[in-house]
Amino acid sequence: MQFKINFYMENQHQWLNYANQRLSPHYDERPVNCDIDLLVIHNISLPAGHFGTSFVDDLFMGSINCHAHESFASLEGVRVSAHCFIRRDGSVNQYVPFSKRAWHAGGSSFDGRQRCNDFSIGIELEGTDSIPYTQAQYEALVKVSQSIMTQFPKITPQRIVGHCDIAPTRKTDPGEAFDWQYYLNLLQRELRVIE
């Protein structure tokens, strides 16, 4: 599994050239002179445990119908996004340019710093804490991670965390179903290929 790494650049805002580009209204500017040095992995499915629906896309695009499912009532007025969303088939949607601040982490801290949205990139995997992720998702996640790490070299494997690591009292994702060792082994192998 070897990937060609490159970006589509427009006005210094980074977009993956292999992702489906969908500009979310839910983002803003990062603080001035703020290094991007953390990658956060999440999971999401709407409704929980249902895959292949349009509802995650609708949520990130600010157009979700909160009456479409009884569990969506709590999403009324929620403004959230991630930089990327990786579906079960490995396809990638990008909602926010990497140079901008996506609203994915909420109240969070890492390495003594608060407000992880300021200095992180957020990737959502279509999934739940307890359902195994697909091989296509792991491969896509490695490809996306490589692209990000090439552009932002302060993001190292040691600075790739789960949402559970930066908001442990609120969040559990990507959950016990996420095979960290497998992902990091794949990533390290690919990083060695491009050195």
Question: Order of strands, edge to edge, in the sheet holding 160-162?
Answer: 20-21, 92-94, 84-86, 120-126, 38-44, 160-162
For residue 170 the two structure tokens come to: 């609120």
- Is 124 a catalytic site residue? yes
Report the amino acid identity of residue 102. A
d(CA 159, CA 146): 13
What is the bridge-based pairing of β-strands 160-162 and 38-44?
Answer: parallel
Report the amino acid identity of residue 107. G
Q: Which of 29, 76, 124, 176 is catalytic?
A: 124
Instruction: Tell me how far apart the 2 most distant CA atoms of the chain are, in Å.
Output: 50
List the catalytic residues: 124
